Amino acid sequence: MIKHILKIIWNQRRSNVWIFMELLLVVAILWVMMDSLYVDIRTYRTPLGFDITNVYKVNFGKMSPDIPGYVPDELHQSSDGEDLIRLVDNLRQNPQVEEASLFYAACPYSWNTSWNSLIQAEADTAQKANVFQYFRVQPAYYDVFRFTDQEGHPLRPIVEQHTGEIVVTADMERDFWNGQPGLGRQVRWSGTSTGSMTVAAVSASIRRTEYDKSVPCFYNVWRSDKDVIDVAGWAQAQNIECCIRMKDGFRAEEMETLLQQMSDRLTVNNLYVSSVKPLQEMRASFLKPRTDNLTKKCFLVGFMLVNVFFGIVGTFWLRTQYRRGELGLRAALGASRSKLKQFMNVEGLSLLFFTVPLVLIFIANVLYFDLPDTYRQPYTWWRFLATFGSALLLLAGMIWVGIWFPARRIAKMDPAESLHYE
């Protein structure tokens, strides 16, 4: 049967060549799309390392001296840093709030980041100092965002059990100590810095966003209020970041009422809570460009599939009309209707199959030049099979659906009438 169909396809080459070229183009581009969707989705689905549901970002403001209600320095002894700590305590005491934490350049889904070099203190050979992203946080930060260690235990108790001011991520531990445990080891800011710091805990790998790969990074933990006050001294208290985790069951709409209720507790001397934003909202706007991109890719895939469907329906519909005589003859000679349908399906799928060698040449070239994203996900046979296979399967499905229409028409055909055309 195959040989026979090949002959038919060859004889129909004039009209087949267009649909063949379309399939060729579409298979190649669909593979590119599938590969990039594969990387995006696989990356998106790996654990992030933290949890932002029910977490809100609290922004602070500071009154300027020309504002009515400004408390002049003579009237209060506390520094801005101390005021800030009191303000956060006020928030934490609210029964709806589970935990609150202050931190600096450590808010997920924000552009405010800090980077610094870090080296191992034990190794005496001159090391290349790499720069890593780092976060300055209170231990409560690990509860607000529900960070864990590599085994999934909550991180905060571990940090509090051990001494030390540095917490490294699993990637950093691997990077520094090649699979040896990093807990309790000594690190230094740079080769010239005096004094070393102790690693108090190792957290699970964390990723900056759903679309990024995890990279080594570390935390500088603020053990005491004095640490906060020091940072408030140079960074200004209102620039220190704060997030609160609300109790389960709290809804975003209730935030406004909650803030209204505690309004007098939201100002300490000249420092006040200016706005509160759900982190989900910040996440949506931070990720928007990449999510939009993903949606656009899906749309293009849809566009291609619809077009293949249209192309197959159009070509095969006209062909059944054009070949009514032949099909009638087959029917008259005893071919069953399902057999006729099968004939057309095989014909359509063969067209798709013929594109494979050419597309494989294309893929080989693309891979040779390392164009696909191999940074976020390694290129494996599984990835090739998943992306190429799904591209072919999607198209085969579309062809099958497209042929179903003309095939139904054949099924209705009366052999005697068809023969009339012969």
Instruction: Tell which positions 190-219 bind other proteins, by CB under 8 A.
Output: none
Site string for other proteins, 312-341 (x = CB under 8 A): -xxx-xxx-xx-------------------
Paired tokens of 261: 């209720």
Asked if 286 touches other proteins (CB under 8 A), the answer is: no
Asked if 29 touches other proteins (CB under 8 A), the answer is: yes
Q: Say which residues have a Cβ less than 8 Å from residue 17's Cβ, sequence separation at least 6.
A: none
Based on CB atoms, which residue is closest to other proteins, 115 or 310? 310
Based on CB atoms, which residue is closest to other proteins, 275 or 374? 275
Q: Say which residues have a Cβ less than 8 Å from residue 112's Cβ, sequence separation at least 6.
A: 105, 241
Based on CB atoms, which residue is closest to other proteins, 322 or 353? 322
Asked if 376 touches other proteins (CB under 8 A), the answer is: no
Q: Say which residues have a Cβ less than 8 Å from residue 59's Cβ, sequence separation at least 6.
A: 242, 273, 274, 275, 276, 277
- Strand-pairing partners, residue 198, are 186
Based on CB atoms, which residue is closest to other proteins, 153 or 420? 420
Question: Measured on CA atoms in the order 186, 187, 191, 194, is the torsion positive or negative?
Answer: negative
Number of residues this chain uses to bind other proteins (CB under 8 A): 49
- Asked if residues 120 and 176 have their Cβ atoms less than 8 Å apart, the reply is yes
Least Å distance, CB 31 to other proteins, is: 14
The candidate with the shortest Cα–Cα distance to 12, out of 405, 343, 365, 377, is 343
What is the torsion angle, in degrees rounded to the nearest 10, for the CA atoms of residue 409, residue 410, residue 416 and residue 420? 80
Instruction: Tell which positions 40-69 bind other proteins, by CB under 8 A.
Output: 61, 63-64, 66-69
Q: How far lies 29's CA from each of 164, 359, 366, in Å?
A: 53, 10, 12
Asked if 277 touches other proteins (CB under 8 A), the answer is: yes
Asked if 379 touches other proteins (CB under 8 A), the answer is: no
Residue type, 220: N
What's the DSSP call for residue 211?
T
Least Å distance, CB 120 to other proteins, is: 35
Provide the 10 A C-beta neighbour count for residue 332: 13
For the chain, first and last CA: distance in Å? 22
- Asked if residues 118 and 132 have their Cβ atoms less than 8 Å apart, the reply is yes
Least Å distance, CB 261 to other proteins, is: 11
Based on CB atoms, which residue is closest to other proteins, 4 or 408? 408
Asked if 112 touches other proteins (CB under 8 A), the answer is: no
Site string for other proteins, 90-109 (x = CB under 8 A): --------------------
User: What does the binding site for other proteins look like in residue numbers (CB under 8 A)?
Assistant: 11, 14-15, 18-19, 21-22, 25-26, 29, 61, 63-64, 66-69, 255-256, 259-260, 263, 266, 273-277, 288, 291-292, 295-296, 299, 303-304, 306-307, 310-311, 313-315, 317-319, 321-322, 405
